Amino acid sequence: MSNIASSQTAKGGSVSILSVLKDFGNFRAVNDVSIEIRPNEFFTLLGPSGCGKTTLLRMLAGFEAPTDGKILLDGSDISMLPPNRRPINTVFQNYALFPHMTVAENIGFGLKMLGKSAAEISATVKEMLRLVRLEDAGNRSVTQLSGGQQQRIALARALAPKPKLLLLDEPLSALDLKLRKSMQIELKRLQQETEITFIFVTHDQEEALTMSDRIAVMNGGKVLQIGSAHDIYEHPADRFVAGFIGETNFLEGELTASAGGAGTVNLRCGVTVEALTAKSVASSGSVTIVVRPEQLEMVDPGSPQSVDATVEQIVYFGTDRHVHARLGDGTALTIRQQNRPGMREGLAEGQKIGVAIPPRVAQILKD
Partner 1 sequence: MASFASTGKIDIKRQTGFGFIAVACLVALYLPILVVLVFSFNNAMSIGASWQGFSLRWYVTLMKNQGFFDSAILSIVVAVAATVMSTILGTMAALATTRVKRWRGQGATMLIITSPLIVPEIVSAVSLLAFFSFIAQAFGISFGILKIVLAHTSFCIPFAYLPIKARLEGMDVTLENAAADLYADRWKTFRYVTLPLLLPGISSGAALAFIVSFDDFTITQLIAGPGETTLPLFIWSRIRNIVTPELNAMCTVLLLVSIAFIILSFVLTKKKQD
Q: Show the site string, 86-105: x = touches partner 1 by CB under 8 A, - = not.
A: --xxx-x-x-xxxxx-----
Beta strands, E only, the chain: 15-24, 27-37, 42-46, 68-73, 76-77, 88-91, 165-169, 197-202, 214-219, 222-227, 249-259, 262-267, 272-277, 285-291, 297-299, 306-316, 320-327, 332-338, 352-356, 363-365
Cα–Cα–Cα angle for 110, 112, 115, rounded to 5 degrees: 115
Contact status, residue 324 vs residue 313, Cβ threshold 8 Å: yes
82 binds partner 1 (CB under 8 A): yes
User: Least Å distance between CB 100 and Mg ion?
Assistant: 27
User: Least Å distance between CB 162 and partner 1?
Assistant: 12
Q: Show the site string, 25-64: x = touches Mg ion by CB under 5 A, - = not.
A: -----------------------------x----------
Q: What one-letter code names the amino acid at 195?
A: E
Nearest Cα to Cα of residue 292 among 340, 253, 235: 235
- Of 62, 66, 171, 293, the one binding partner 1 (CB under 8 A) is 62
**How many other C-beta atoms can be found within 10 angstroms of the C-beta atom of residue 95?**
19
Residue 84 vs 339, nearer CB to partner 1: 84
Residue 106 vs 258, nearer CB to partner 1: 106
305 binds partner 1 (CB under 8 A): no
- Of 12, 52, 227, 354, the one binding ligand ATP (CB under 6 A) is 52
**Which listed range, 13-21, 43-51, 231-239, 352-360, lies at the site for ligand ATP (CB under 6 A)?**
43-51
- Of 49, 76, 139, 143, the one binding ligand ATP (CB under 6 A) is 49
24 binds partner 1 (CB under 8 A): no
Residue 22 vs 235, nearer CB to ligand ATP: 22
- Count, residues near partner 1 per rule CB under 8 A: 27
207 binds ligand ATP (CB under 6 A): no
29 binds ligand ATP (CB under 6 A): yes
User: Least Å distance between CB 122 and Mg ion?
Assistant: 35
Query: SS3 for 117-169, per residue?
Result: CHHHHHHHHHHHHHHCCCHHHCCCEHHHCCHHHHHHHHHHHHHCCCCCEEEEE
Radius of gyration of the chain (CA): 25
User: Least Å distance between CB 57 and Mg ion?
Assistant: 8
Residue 105 vs 186, nearer CB to partner 1: 105
63 binds partner 1 (CB under 8 A): yes
Residue 50 vs 147, nearer CB to ligand ATP: 50
Contact status, residue 97 vs residue 153, Cβ threshold 8 Å: yes
259 Cβ contact partners less than 8 Å away, ≥ 6 residues apart: none
**Which listed range, 106-114, 250-258, 310-318, 347-355, lies at the site for partner 1 (CB under 8 A)?**
106-114
| Alpha-carbon distances, residue 44 vs 145, 156, 228 (angstroms) | 28, 20, 10
Contact status, residue 319 vs residue 361, Cβ threshold 8 Å: no
Write out the binding residues for Mg ion, residues 135-174 only, by CB under 5 A.
none
Write out the binding residues for partner 1, residues 120-179 only, by CB under 8 A.
143, 157-158, 161
Helices (H), the chain: 53-61, 103-113, 118-131, 147-159, 177-194, 205-211, 229-234, 239-244
Residue 49 contacts which entry, Mg ion, ligand ATP, partner 1, none (Cβ below 5-8 A, type-dependent): ligand ATP
- Which CB contacts under 8 angstroms, 24+ apart, belong to 73-82? 73/13, 73/14, 73/15, 73/164, 73/165, 74/13, 74/14, 74/164, 75/14, 75/16
- Of 86, 152, 157, 203, the one binding ligand ATP (CB under 6 A) is 203
Residue numbers at the binding site for ligand ATP (CB under 6 A): 24, 27, 29, 47, 49-55, 203
Residue numbers at the binding site for partner 1 (CB under 8 A): 1, 4-5, 61-63, 82-84, 88-90, 92, 94, 96-100, 109-110, 113-114, 143, 157-158, 161
Residue numbers at the binding site for Mg ion (CB under 5 A): 54
